[in-house]
């Protein structure tokens, strides 16, 4: 497992959304941005990419090609993943898919955003109500 990072203080914010799409398409496991202060106290953005070792070179090339960075740092990382299962719960707003973890010690779930969004728009209710209904249905 690797983490690739670059700090950028001279790129239009419009490019960052496209960059995430490109990195995920090229098999990044996760991508995140962190606000940072760079030399001369300029505000910047640190781009971090979590990836498998075999995808490191390809993802580094995406960062170099799609951003204004002049370099990319990389370092090794480890990751523990809980086994997930996709389940569907019934709510007053219809069925909602949920990512769940149940291993005897941990039991938690997260409703799928797109299902919640669809139900909220269809029933003209706040998204958080659908989200809460799905969590309640899962935990009950």
Question: Which of 6, 4, 110 is CA-nearest to residue 15?
Answer: 6
Residues 8 and 27: beta-carbon distance below 8 Å? no
Domain at 2-76: CATH architecture: 2-Layer Sandwich (3.30)
- How open is the CA angle 130-115-30, to the nearest 5 degrees? 110
The pLDDT of residue 83: 86
DSSP alpha helices (H): ranges in 14-112? 14-25, 56-66
Q: What is the spatial distance between Cα 66 and Cα 105, in angstroms, rounded to a whole number?
A: 43
Q: What share of the chain is helix, strand, coil (3-state, %, to 5)?
A: 40, 35, 25
Q: What is the mean pLDDT, run by run of 10 residues, along the chain of 140 residues?
A: 96 91 97 94 95 97 96 94 91 96 86 97 97 94
pLDDT score for 117: 97
Query: Domain coordinates of the chain in residue numbers?
Result: 2-76, 85-139
């Amino acid at each position: 497992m690797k983490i690739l990072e670059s700090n950028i203080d001279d790129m239009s914010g419009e490019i960052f959304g496209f960059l995430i799409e490109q990195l995920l398409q090229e098999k990044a496991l996760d991508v995140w941005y962190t606000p940072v202060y760079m030399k001369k106290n300029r505000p910047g953005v640190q781009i971090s990419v979590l990836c498998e070792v075999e995808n490191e070179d390809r993802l580094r090339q995406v960062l170099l090609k799609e951003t204004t960075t002049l370099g990319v740092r990389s370092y090794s990382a480890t990751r523990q993943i809980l086994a997930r299962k996709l389940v569907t719960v019934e709510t007053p707003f219809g069925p909602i898919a949920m990512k769940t973890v149940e291993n005897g010690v941990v039991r938690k779930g997260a409703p799928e955003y797109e299902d919640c969004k669809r139900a909220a728009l269809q029933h003209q209710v706040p998204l958080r109500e659908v989200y809460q209904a799905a969590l309640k249905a899962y935990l009950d």
